[in-house]
Amino acid sequence: MEDKKHVNINKKKAMRVLLATIFVLGTLFLLQRLFMPKYMTDIVEGAMIAEYYEEEKNHDVVFVGDCELYENMDPVYLWEHYGINSYIRGSAQQLIWQSYYLMEETLKYETPKAIVFNVLSMKYNEPQKEAFNRMTLDGMRWSASKINSIRASMMPDEKFLDYAFPILRYHSRWQELSTEDLEYFWTKDKVSHNGYYLRVDVKPAENVPEGKILADYQFGSTAYAYLDKMRDLCRSHGVQLILVKAPSLYPYWYDEWEEQMDQYAQTNDLPYYNFLDLTEEIGLDFTTDTYDAGLHLNLSGADKLSDYFGKILQQEFEIPDRRGESVLQTAWEPKIKAYEQDIERQKKGEEK
Amino acid sequence: MLFTSYEFLAFIGILFLLYYVVPKKFQWILLLGASYLFYAMADWSYLVFILVTTVSAYFAACAMEKTYTDQKAYLLLHKSEMNKDERKAFKAVQKKKRWHCLLLILFLNLGILAVLKYTNFAIANLNGILTFTGSTRQLDYLNLLLPMGISFYTFQTLGYLIDVYRGKYPAERNLAKLALFVSFFPQLVQGPISRFDDLSVSLFEEHTLNWQNVSFGLERILWGYFKKLVIADRIVIGVNTIIHNPDQYRGTFVFVGMLFYAFELYCDFTGGIDITIGVAEVMGIRVTENFKRPFFSKCIKEYWNRWHITMGSWFTDYIFYPISVCGPMLKLGKWSRKHLGEQIGKRVSVYLSCIVVWFTTGIWHGASWNFIVWGLGNCVVILISQEFEPLYRLFYQKMEGKGIHLQGNFGWKVFQVTRTVLLMSCLRLFDCYRDVPLTFRMFGTMFTNWNWNNLSGASFLELGLNGWDYLVLILGLLLVFTVSMVQRSGSVRMKIADMPGIIRFGLWYGLFLIVLILGAYGVGFDASQFIYNQF
Amino acid sequence: MDTLLEILKDLHPDVDFELCDTLVDDKILDSFDIVTLISEINDQFDVTISAEDITPENFNSAESLFALIERLEDED
């Protein structure tokens, strides 16, 4: 009788501890979700990395890199005009090791025919800025690639724990919480079109500044090491790695850098396209084709570039035209619709 | 490893688990290992210094104790053959031996502290003198290591040695145990300065897992983090804006900065001590309290009995008393009473000892004139209030005669407490500004540049804190104040322990969430060290 | 004992030293008082109270203080 009573008390105690634990973990989880930035109205670039996971993963071309890809290449155009099924895994100031680990992760989900990498990030040999790290890394799903990417990206004063439990990083956002944080608590809107950040506005490029003289033009050893790793990774998966330099006028692309990239592409037998040298062939006009004075292209510029590059992909790399596939066709339909709505909305916004 | 780092949390978490898993007789050994690991993680080379102090203290204490045991044994054997004077002479010889031993060890350990901490200060002063005399020669500064917590563990060890010298308790025969006493990690960086007879019992005892110890300890730790992270590390932003821009923030702002600094220092220091005591408590170890609601003190003397208590009592027991009752000082007292008159003569020895104590207290806090002036400033205030005591008594009597009972009057108490807080805050300005002349200048601007408009909301928002921050600070300080008020009628944690489980859980988790969310840590906040780490 | 009580009364006229046994614990005697007290005692009793004798136990009451003086006289 006494024993039974004792067991009952213990059971009750265990139950209470269990309930308390569930309550604590549950509220912490909810709070963390609340405090994490949603990137829905401001700096939408922060939401792009996570969008990939909702995609049907059977792309033929995957672009990996920084803003010089996600603002300059238009997968919708590539689909509509070449039937190329592509996706951009881009994020702001994506560093080369982050690109590498994104490639590694992508290859776990799918094996495209080609991966396109923009080489601007060769110029960074060290982690740059916590805020940009966050925008690339927070959106990734947990995997060995994410862990390694975090390790490679952390600034000296950053802590892994802050990535593992983002509430430790974002707790001070309690002052800035807005209705946006509640609105997008569970679900988020799409901010990109297959990774493409669409802009229709125009701000002509005038007086593009010359590059400042640098002390050293040599790309860093870490950057090269990750480029080598990309090369090997793609090789082992039988994926064609294509190196490109987007036609952005700024940040300045030095001749010394160009030489090194040329050299690298030649020794490693990799295709390399510097679109800066091809602006005339592409037909780019920097008085109408950029929305921020030459840093990034707008829709009109991106479509010119996509048209030019689509042709290359089709002819040189034999990327198939899959417009006939009904499954793909239906998958693209809503995307095209959203794309057109976005264009219309932005144009209206302009008129206001 | 800062108390506010993730590493420290992991460190104590693992330690707590191990502490109650290992066989009980190894608990203190585990603690010794943990303390040395903690110290080594700051810098391997620090270990050399703490080992030198520990080993030298061990042998010196044993040697001093031997004089006691020798004396006892000898007297037991030969008592009958010796007359009173012979016995006295024999004891004096033993005492002399002890004294030499103590001198040697004091010289060694204070020497290490002095060289590491004060050499560059001395060089700076010499250079100043050289410049003053027109010389162009300047001495180079030395690149010296300052081991973490050296001021604290050196003083703690010296206290032990002097107690053994005085025969208060026998020397510790186990070197490893002494090593733990010297290096016990929670109090290594910022005190309290424990006494061997206080700490040793619970430090070496075997402890069984006990819900009250663990829950009380964790609660205390959490409360410490609240004061440190939510209040101190937030208000420090405002303090730094004011004190680092003395040209811009004068007058009224000096006053604001002074008050902010009082809150910062209190929350920072007592928060750190709460964590120290809490960590020890979880393991069943009792560390002496270092604060007793110091801001409720009615006079500066009382304040120093309630603020950094272990330091104050250390200076009283090991510096003030020995100096003021030593032979030469007593002689000086006699001489001056004869030659300078009863009134002045009576004061000479006390005053001199007081000045020495406060000079040392000042320089112990830091190798700079700021701290020396700060220490002496305290001394002056204490001595003046000592002199005013008869006047106060007269004043009370007069008021009493008019039917006004000031003593025990609540309003009068509030006045006294406010006066003490303001006085102490003024003195603390020396802790804030770059150098002594600047401090005096800034103090002066409080009277010359006072501007009521600066107390408007807008100027507060210039200081790097926004409205939300001030809201958190006000509510946080209100909570600290309320807890202090409740504390007057007994332990707050005891009161919480009597509440129903669900409320206890709510309080703990609520406080945890407050620290987690409102804590000024991580990106956007400078990970500021505990202020007292520097000393 | 009477001499001692007189010294004490001089220091704090308002305290009943014959009854009080928490002179140190209740901070009735502060460090200044103790030093003054010691120099007076050293004068009048011809003993030397040294720093190591300054403990709360010895100074908490007039009685214990007197016991200390007697002990020291005895030793001399």
Local confidence band at B407 (pLDDT 50, 70, 90 cut-offs): confident
Give SS3 for A55: coil
| Partners of A242 in beta bridges | A116
Q: Which two tokens stand for residue C3?
A: 């001499």
Local confidence band at B527 (pLDDT 50, 70, 90 cut-offs): very low
Tell if the CB–CB gap between A162 and B523 is shorter than 8 Å.
yes
Local confidence band at B190 (pLDDT 50, 70, 90 cut-offs): confident
Tell if the CB–CB gap between B519 and A171 is shorter than 8 Å.
yes
Q: Which two tokens stand for residue B47?
A: 């270990």
Query: B193-209: per-residue pLDDT in tens?
Result: 999 999 999 999 999 99
As for how many domains chain C has, the answer is 1
End-to-end CA, chain A:
81
Is residue B211 less than 8 Å (CB to CB) from chain A? Answer: no
Local confidence band at A351 (pLDDT 50, 70, 90 cut-offs): very low
Tell if the CB–CB gap between C36 and B168 is shorter than 8 Å.
no
* pLDDT (average), residues A39-61: 89
Q: Work out the percent of chain A whose per-residue pLDDT is above 70.
A: 98
Tell if the CB–CB gap between B167 and C32 is shorter than 8 Å.
no
Amino acid, res. A209 = P
Residue A20 belongs to a domain: no
Distance CA A279, CA A287 (A): 13
Distance CA C70, CA C72 (A): 5
C-alpha B280: how far from its chain's center? 18
Cβ-Cβ pairs closer than 8 A, B with C, add up to 47
User: What is the structure's pLDDT at A5?
Assistant: 67
Is residue C50 less than 8 Å (CB to CB) from chain B? Answer: yes
Is residue B464 less than 8 Å (CB to CB) from chain C? Answer: no
User: What is the structure's pLDDT at A32?
Assistant: 94
Question: How does DSSP assign A128-196, residue by residue?
Answer: --HHHHHHHHTTSPSSHHHHHHHHHH--TT--HHHHHSTHHHHGGGGGT--HHHHHTSS-----SBTTB
Looking at per-residue pLDDT, the higher value among B399 and A230 belongs to A230
CB B186 within 8 A of CB B268: no
Which residues of chain B neighbour C27 with C-beta distances below 8 Å?
A: 305
Neighbours of chain C (3+ CB pairs under 8 A): B
* A157-161, B474-478, B510-514, range with the lowest pLDDT: A157-161
Taking the CA of residue B351 and the nearest CA in chain C, the distance in Å comes to 9
Among B94, B324, B353, B387, most C C-beta atoms within 10 A, so best to mutate, is B324
Local confidence band at A342 (pLDDT 50, 70, 90 cut-offs): very high
* pLDDT (average), residues B384-393: 84
Which residues of chain C neighbour B334 with C-beta distances below 8 Å?
A: 43
Distance CA A219, CA A129 (A): 19
Is residue C27 less than 8 Å (CB to CB) from chain B? Answer: yes
Look at phi and psi of residue B218 and say left if phi exceeds 0, alpha if psi is from -120 to 50, else beta.
alpha
Among C32, C37, C41, C54, most B C-beta atoms within 10 A, so best to mutate, is C32
CA distances from C62 to C24, C34, C52 (A): 11, 12, 18
Tell if the CB–CB gap between C52 and B166 is shorter than 8 Å.
yes
Cβ-Cβ pairs closer than 8 A, A with B, add up to 34
* A71-75, B144-148, B351-355, range with the lowest pLDDT: B144-148
The alpha-helical segments, DSSP class H, found in B133-143 are none
Q: What length is written for chain A? A: 352
Query: B254-278: per-residue pLDDT in tens?
Result: 999 999 999 999 999 999 999 999 9
For B517, nearest residue in chain A (alpha carbons): A171
**Domain range for A344:** 36-351
Among A21, A28, A175, A178, most B C-beta atoms within 10 A, so best to mutate, is A175
For B306, nearest residue in chain C (alpha carbons): C27
Distance CA B188, CA B206 (A): 22
Q: Work out the percent of chain C whose per-residue pLDDT is above 70.
A: 97
For B326, nearest residue in chain C (alpha carbons): C50
For B324, nearest residue in chain C (alpha carbons): C35
Residue from the list A20, A157, A159 with its beta carbon closest to the beta carbon of B6: A159
Any idea of the CA torsion for B200, B204, B207, B212, to the nearest 10 degrees?
20
Q: Which residues contact A175 (CB under 8 A, 6 or more apart)?
A: B466, B468
Distance CA B151, CA B6 (A): 26
Neighbours of chain A (3+ CB pairs under 8 A): B
Which residues of chain B neighbour A156 with C-beta distances below 8 Å?
A: none
User: What is the structure's pLDDT at A156?
Assistant: 87
Taking the CA of residue A267 and the nearest CA in chain B, the distance in Å comes to 43
Local confidence band at B524 (pLDDT 50, 70, 90 cut-offs): low
Chains C and A make contact, 3+ CB pairs within 8 Å: no
Write out residues 121-150 of A within 8 Å (CB-CB) of B. Answer: 130
Looking up tokens 């908490």 gives C60
- Report chain A's mean pLDDT, rounded to a whole number: 91
Which residues of chain B neighbour C42 with C-beta distances below 8 Å?
A: 325, 330
Most confident of A346-350, B134-138, B430-434: B430-434
User: What is the structure's pLDDT at B412?
Assistant: 87
| Contacts within 8 Å (CB) and 24+ apart, C67-74 | C69/C4, C69/C41, C69/C45, C72/C47, C72/C48, C73/C45, C73/C46, C73/C47
Residue A7 belongs to a domain: no
Task: Check whether B315 has a pLDDT greater than 60.
Answer: yes
Q: Which residues contact A169 (CB under 8 A, 6 or more apart)?
A: A134, A162, A163, B522, B523
**Domain range for C6:** 2-75
Residue A24 belongs to a domain: no
Among C11, C24, C35, C36, most B C-beta atoms within 10 A, so best to mutate, is C35
User: What is the structure's pLDDT at B529?
Assistant: 39
As for how many domains chain A has, the answer is 1
3-class SS string, B447-507: HHCCCHHHHCHHHHHCCCCCHHHHHHHHHHHHHHHHHHHHHCCCCHHHHHHCCCHHHHHHH
User: What is the structure's pLDDT at B79?
Assistant: 76
Which residues of chain A neighbour B519 with C-beta distances below 8 Å?
A: 171
User: What is the structure's pLDDT at B445?
Assistant: 87
Q: Which two tokens stand for residue B155?
A: 């003083």
Local confidence band at B82 (pLDDT 50, 70, 90 cut-offs): confident
Distance CA A280, CA A283 (A): 5
Which residues of chain B neighbour A175 with C-beta distances below 8 Å?
A: 466, 468
Which residues of chain B neighbour A159 with C-beta distances below 8 Å?
A: 6
Which residues of chain B neighbour A164 with C-beta distances below 8 Å?
A: none
User: What is the structure's pLDDT at A350?
Assistant: 54
Residue from the list B6, B468, B516 with its beta carbon closest to the beta carbon of A171: B516
- Report chain B's mean pLDDT, rounded to a whole number: 89
Most confident of A136-145, B82-91, B410-419, B485-494: A136-145
Sheet with A114-118: list strands edge to edge.
A86-90, A61-65, A114-118, A240-245, A272-274
* pLDDT (average), residues C56-70: 87
Tell if the CB–CB gap between A20 and B505 is shorter than 8 Å.
yes
* pLDDT (average), residues B498-516: 93
CATH code for position C70: 1.10.1200.10
Which residues of chain B neighbour C39 with C-beta distances below 8 Å?
A: 325, 330, 333, 349
Which residues of chain C neighbour B346 with C-beta distances below 8 Å?
A: 36
CB A49 within 8 A of CB A176: no
Which residues of chain C neighbour B333 with C-beta distances below 8 Å?
A: 39
End-to-end CA, chain B:
16
Local confidence band at A2 (pLDDT 50, 70, 90 cut-offs): low
CATH code for position A153: 3.40.50.1110
Residue from the list B301, B325, B349 with its beta carbon closest to the beta carbon of C49: B325
| Contacts within 8 Å (CB) and 24+ apart, B95-101 | B95/B67, B97/B67, B98/B64, B98/B67, B98/B68, B98/B165, B99/B165, B101/B60, B101/B63, B101/B64, B101/B67, B101/B165
* A277-291, B349-363, B452-466, B490-504, range with the lowest pLDDT: B452-466
Task: Check whether B531 has a pLDDT greater than 60.
Answer: no
User: What is the structure's pLDDT at B528?
Assistant: 39
Taking the CA of residue B467 and the nearest CA in chain A, the distance in Å comes to 10
Write out residues 168-197 of B within 8 Å (CB-CB) of C. Answer: 168
Query: B138-148: per-residue pLDDT in tens?
Result: 888 888 888 88
Query: B354-388: per-residue pLDDT in tens?
Result: 999 999 999 999 888 999 999 999 999 999 988 88
Is residue A20 less than 8 Å (CB to CB) from chain B? Answer: yes
3-class SS string, B30-78: HHHHHHHHHHHHHCCCHHHHHHHHHHHHHHHHHHHHHHHHHHHHHHHHH
Local confidence band at B533 (pLDDT 50, 70, 90 cut-offs): very low
Query: B5-61: per-residue pLDDT in tens?
Result: 999 999 999 999 999 999 999 999 999 999 999 999 988 999 999 999 999 999 999
Is residue B353 less than 8 Å (CB to CB) from chain C? Answer: yes
Task: Say whether pTM exceeds 0.80.
Answer: yes
* pLDDT (average), residues B503-531: 79
